[in-house]
Structure 1
Amino acid sequence: MKTETLEYYAEAFLLENFNLPLNISIRISKRMKSKLGAFLIKYKNKSVYSKEIVMSYNFIVHNDQEAILDVLYHECVHYALYTLNKPFRDSDAEFIQTLDALGISKTRSYHYKGNAYLYECPKCGYQFTKKVKGYNKRYICRYCRSKFVYRREITA
């Protein structure tokens, strides 16, 4: 799914449900690994500098259209409530009620699907996966204190 397609669906969703235009950009990020999507507000000198919706590239590539649109609409609800000066955070009651009324999933409803990296401790054989590369350069094994070795890339 391309940025233009996401913008089309977001524009239609916001007009239909909140009577608001989409006045922010939507960006697809290849660096976003821990989140599937985010509504970002950047501040500079205590005033709003910019706003955007960011979607994870790996999430878009490895999921179906229904899941992608569900996450996109979730982020659009954040944006719409923020624009209407209403509580827009994940834990706010009005935000949760709005999601329920629109039939949109809450945060952490989907699990990560995409590329992960397998690491192993050469001494004790402890294995684990991480979504980031270079984990072996920064951390040591908690059991035997030796450095991890990168084994291979896997699809999670």
Structure 2
Amino acid sequence: MAEVTIEDVIEDARIFLSENYNMRLRIPIRRNNRLKKTFGQFIHMDNIPDCIELSGILLDYGGKAAVLDTLHHELIHYALFELGKPYRDGDLEFESELRKYSVSPTNTSECYGPIVRFVCAECGKSAFTTTKRVGSNPQRYRTKCCKADLINVRNDVIYGEYKEAE
């Protein structure tokens, strides 16, 4: 069902690190279904690299380009960390590496996966949320814009590029 498997991700990671940093991948890359607000993270503990985690939502609903963009972002964190260079978001060297490899900076990714679409009963503005309970109990919620009732509430899914709704 997923367009990009974790095996595909690991193989791409090996190639990316080898070609761009002359480095081997020495940590696992894992799927983490609990990641909702972020699509990936590089984890290190006690100054030792631990793993890279990618969101299950990204792997299931994001297209290949979105998955690889997030993966490369996390791999740049990892590579710079291993090289002893500034590796955190906002560090000039890290941001320069993102531009060098045409990788998106932090907090620029799209929303993917199951959503609930609705319309504001007062101003007619369309919006959506990833909060599933809104779909089953819309009467308990109000819109942000006018604090009005939600109308035309329906469940939907946002897919990344190259994906079709089933």
TM-score greater than 0.5 by the shorter chain: yes
CA drift at 1:116: 2.4
The 5 Å alignment of 1:1-156 reads 1-41=4-44, 43=45, 47-48=46-47, 51-117=50-116, 129-133=128-132, 153-156=155-158
RMSD: 3.2
Aligned length: 149
Identity over aligned pairs, percent: 31
Alignment partners' CA distance in 2, 1:109 and 1:17: 23
More displaced, 59-68 or 80-89?
59-68
Q: 1:33–1:131: 8 Å Cα contact kept in structure 2?
A: no
Please state how far the C-alpha of 1:50 moved relative to its aligned partner.
5.7
Q: Residues of 1 paired with 2:91 and 2:37: CA distance?
A: 22
1:77·1:99 contact (CA, 8 Å) conserved in 2?
yes
Structure 2: distance between partners of 1:10 and 1:86: 19
In structure 1, stretches of 5+ residues that fail to align are: 120-126, 145-150
Counterpart contact for 2:49–2:78, Cα < 8 Å:
no
Q: How does the TM-score come out when normalised to structure 1?
A: 0.74
Scaled by the length of structure 2, the TM-score of the pair is: 0.70
- Whether the 8 Å CA contact 1:116–1:153 is kept in 2: the answer is yes
CA drift at 1:109: 2.6
Cα distance change, pair 128–66 in 1 and its aligned pair in 2 (3 A): closer
